[in-house]
Structure 1
Amino acid sequence: MTGTQPFVLAEQALLGALLLEPSRIDSVRPHLRPHHMYRPAHAALYRALLDRPPDPGLTMADRTMALVRDAGAHAAGITPVYAHTLMAACPRPRHALVYARMIVEAADHRLVREHAVRLGQVAAADHARDGLADTLTHHRHLHRVLDDLHRRRPDHDTATSTPAVPTPELNPEPPLPGNLDDEQALIGALILDPAPMSALSRWLTPADFADTAHATLYRCVHALVLRGEPVDSLTLAWEAQHQGAFAAGDGGLTPELVAHIATSGMPADVDYRARRVLRAYVLRTAASAAAAVGTHAGDPTLSTSRLVTAARTALTPLDDALARRHNAITATKAPFTHTPPTTTATPWCTGVATWPTTGPDPTNPTAAHGPRSGRRP
C-alpha cells in the first residue's frame, strides 16, 4: 500500500480531535490505551492527554504547549508545529470515538501477527533441536490473545455480510532427515509386529507422516489389521496395489520399496517412534498454522471479529494434533492390551473394503503370521 496507512491517519485525527476538544477524552479513555498507538510519538502524546485532564483556566495554546512538553520528555517528534498538524488532520472532532476504534483494530492485527510470528519462530527452533515445549507455550499464548480479543471487542459484523475467510494455501514445512527415519522405523516395526496397530490408530493418522509413501504403508497396515489379515511385505504390497498406490505413484512407492522397508525393519518401541512422528507433525503444522494466522493478521479487510474467527480456523489442525498427542500420552500411561480387530473403521480409514475371513485368531501373534486356511483367489 502506498501513502500513509489509514490507521496512522486515524491516530493523527484522534489526537487532533483531543487537542481541539479536550472533553472528548472521557469517551475515548475506556477503549484506547497508549500501547494501541503505532507511532511512539503518538503514544507519548496520548499518554500526556490521559494524565492531564482538561483545565478550563488554560487557553488552547497554553494547554497544547504543556502537552507538547510532557510528551516530548518521553518521545521525539512532538513539537508545537506537529501539534497544529494533528489538529489540521482531524476531519471531525465529534468522530473521535470512531477514530479510536480504527486505531484499536489495527493494534489488534499487529498483536495477533506478533504472536503468530513468535509461534512460527519457536516451532522452527523446536524442530531443529528436537524439542516441543516452547511451541506448546506460544500456542497457548496465541489462543489466549484470540480469546481476549473475542471477549473485549464488540462484533460489528452481521451474518449476511461476513463470509468465511479461507485459510491461505501454504507450502508445508519440509521434514528433517530424522523425521523420515522415525517414520520408516515405525512402519518396519509394525510389519514385524502389527499388534499395537489398533491402539496406535486412535491417535496417529496417515496425515501425520511427512513422506507420502510412509503414510500409504501405514494406511495399508491398518487396513490389513482391521480385516484380520496377516501383515508382511507381500500382503502389504498387495494391499497397496488394491488402494491404487502404485498406479498413483504415492511418494514413489513401488513393490521394491515395500520389500525394502519390510526387510529392513527391526523390533522397536512402536509407541516411542509413533510419538516422535506425531511430534514432528505437530511442529510442521505449528509452522504452517502460524504462517496462515500471520497472513490473516496482515489483511486489513478483516475486522477484529473476523480476524479472530479466521485465526482460530487456521489453528484447528494444530489444535487437533495436540489433542491427539494428549491422547497418546494418556494411552501410554495405561498398560497396553491388544484389542482384536473389528470391521469398524477409524475415521481416516473409512471406505476400505471389509469382508469376513477364516484366518487365525488375530489376538494370537504367532498364529497371525502363520498359514491361513482361507486365501483370497
Structure 2
Amino acid sequence: MHPHLYAEQALLGALLLEPTRVEEVRGRLLPEHMYRPAHTALYRALLEHPAPPDATATMATRVLALVAAAGEHAAGITPVYAHTLMAACPYPRNAVLYARMIVEAADHRTIAQHATRLGQVAVADQARDGLADTLTHHQALHAALDELAHRWGEPHGTTPPAPVVLPPTTPCPRDLTEEQALIAALVADPTPLSRIGHWLRPDDFADHAHRALYQSIAGLAHRGETIDPLTVLWEAQRRGHLADGTLTPELTLTITAYGTGGSTDYHARRVLRAALLRTAAATAHTARTHANNPTLPIRHLLAVTRLAMGPLDEIRRRWHTALGEPTYSTRGETVGPVNDATVGAARSRTTAFRAPGMSEPTPERAANVPARRAAPNPPTSFR
C-alpha cells in the first residue's frame, strides 16, 4: 500500500479519536484529495459533523453515526474498519502533517491526470486532423499548475530534471506528404520563405530528409542564390547531408523536381500543426513521468513540469503567429504577501508531535529553513 493511503487512514483515525482536530485540517484538505472513495465519504461526514451534538454521547455512538452517514455515499465503511482507522493513527496530534501528505499525493495525481488527458487528445487530434482539444487541454494543464503554485508557492532555483526517454514514434504518412508538398512549393516559389521562416523551423519537420531540404532551401534564400533542384542538391552537399546519409541525390531530385507544389502558407501551417501535436504528446509523456515519481516534492514537481512544457509553449506561440493571432500567454506570476494561514501550514512540518526520546530541532537547523513565497489568501496551503 502506498504511503499516502496509510496517511489517509492515520488522518481519519486521528479525527475519529479527537474530533476537535477536524477544524485544524478543514481549510487545508478537501474530500476530493482522498484517493479512496470510502475515505472521501467518511471525511465528508466528519466535516459535516465535526463534534457530537450531545456532549454526553460516547465515542462509540459518535463513530457509529459517522459510519452510517458515510455508508450512504460509499461502500466499505463499517464499524470494524473505523476501528482499523483509529488503530492506524500513530499520534492524533500529527493530523495536519498527515493532511499535508495526502494533499501532496493528490497534487501529484492531478498533474498526472492532466498530462494523460493532454497526451490522449493529441493522439486523437492527429488521427482526426484536429487541434482544438489539444490547445484546450494544454491550457488546462497550465491552469492546474497555476492553482498548485498558488497553494505551494512558485518554485525558484530548481535544477533541470534528468531527461525523460520518449517512446519511439512513427511519423504519420499524411504529415510526411504535407512536408514533401511544402518543399516542392518552396522550390517552385521561394518568395514566401521570408514570411514563413519567422514561425516555421527545421525541427518542425518529422522527417530528417525533409528537415535537411528545408535547411538547404533556407540557406540558399538567405544568401540570395537561385533555388532549383540542382542548387538545392548542391547546398545539401555543402551542409554534409549527403555525407551523413540523411539525403541522397536521387531522393533530393525526386522531392524537389517532381513534387506536387501548392499553397506554401497552407502546407507550412499544416507542417507546424503536426509538429505542435507531436510536441504535445511528448510533453504529456514527460509531465506524466515526473508526476508519477513519488520522490519529487511538489514544488520541485511544479518546476520540472514548467520546464517540460517550455517547448510546447514555444511552438504554440509560433502557431498563433502563423495564424496572425495575438501572442499566446501561458500564465501569470504568483506573487503576494504571506498570510497567517500560509505561515501556519508551513509550520506543520515542524510542529508535529514527537514521541518521548525524540530530539527537538536545533536553532542551527531551524535557521537553515528557506523562506518561501505565497499567493494572497490561498484556499489550501502547505508550503
**Deviation, structure 1 residue 18:** 0.5
Of residues 16, 21, 26, the one that matches 1:24 is: 21
Distance 1:77 1:267 in 2: 65
1:95 correspondence with 2:89: no
Distance 2:77 2:140 in 1: 35
Output one character per residue of 1:3-33: Cα deviation in whole Å (capped at 9) or x when no partner: x100000000000111111111111000101
Distance 1:171 1:268 in 2: 34
> What is the identity, as a one-letter code, of the residue corresponding to 1:243?
R
Q: Is the 8 A contact 1:173 1:287 kept in 2?
A: no
Q: Give the structure 2 partner of residue 48 of structure 1.
A: 45
Distance 2:220 2:184 in 1: 15
Distance 1:267 1:68 in 2: 71
Q: Give the structure 2 partner of residue 200 of structure 1.
A: 196
Distance 2:194 2:34 in 1: 55
Q: Is the 8 A contact 1:207 1:215 kept in 2?
A: yes
Quickly say closer, same or farther: Cα 1:217–1:158, change in 2 above 3 A: closer
Q: Is the 8 A contact 2:182 2:267 kept in 1?
A: yes
**TM-score, with length taken from structure 2:** 0.82
**Deviation, structure 1 residue 309:** 1.3
Output one character per residue of 1:190-234: Cα deviation in whole Å (capped at 9) or x when no partner: 111111111111000000000000000101100100011111111
Q: Is the 8 A contact 1:191 1:265 kept in 2?
A: no
Equivalent pairs counted in the alignment come to 324
Q: Give the structure 2 partner of residue 345 of structure 1.
A: none
- Structure 1 gaps of 5+ residues are 332-377
> What is the identity, as a one-letter code, of the residue corresponding to 2:49?
R
- Structure 2 gaps of 5+ residues are 326-383
**TM-score, with length taken from structure 1:** 0.83
Alignment of 1:350-361 (within 5 A): none
Q: Give the structure 2 partner of residue 70 of structure 1.
A: 69
What's the RMSD between the two structures over aligned residues?
Answer: 1.6
Question: Sequence identity, in percent?
Answer: 57
Q: Is the 8 A contact 1:38 1:107 kept in 2?
A: yes
Q: Is the 8 A contact 1:167 1:313 kept in 2?
A: no
1:33 correspondence with 2:30: yes
Distance 1:16 1:46 in 2: 10
Of residues 266, 269, 274, the one that matches 1:272 is: 266
Distance 1:69 1:321 in 2: 54
Distance 1:172 1:197 in 2: 31
Output one character per residue of 1:110-139: Cα deviation in whole Å (capped at 9) or x when no partner: 111111111111111110011111111111
> What is the identity, as a one-letter code, of the residue corresponding to 2:170?
P
Quickly say closer, same or farther: Cα 1:158–1:128, change in 2 above 3 A: closer
**Deviation, structure 1 residue 154:** 4.4
**Deviation, structure 1 residue 166:** 2.4
**Deviation, structure 1 residue 266:** 4.0
Q: Give the structure 1 partner of residue 243 of structure 2.
A: 247
Distance 1:6 1:267 in 2: 59
Q: Give the structure 2 partner of residue 316 of structure 1.
A: 310
For 1:313, what is the secondary structure of its paired residue? Answer: helix
Q: Give the structure 2 partner of residue 183 of structure 1.
A: 179
Q: Give the structure 1 partner of residue 134 of structure 2.
A: 135
Q: Is the 8 A contact 2:26 2:47 kept in 1?
A: yes
Q: Give the structure 2 partner of residue 81 of structure 1.
A: 80
Distance 1:228 1:265 in 2: 23
Distance 1:324 1:88 in 2: 57
Out of 164-173 and 27-36, give the one that drifted further. 164-173
Q: Is the 8 A contact 1:192 1:266 kept in 2?
A: no
Q: Is the 8 A contact 1:167 1:310 kept in 2?
A: no
1:7 correspondence with 2:1: no
> What is the identity, as a one-letter code, of the residue corresponding to 1:26?
E
Higher Cα Rg, which structure:
1
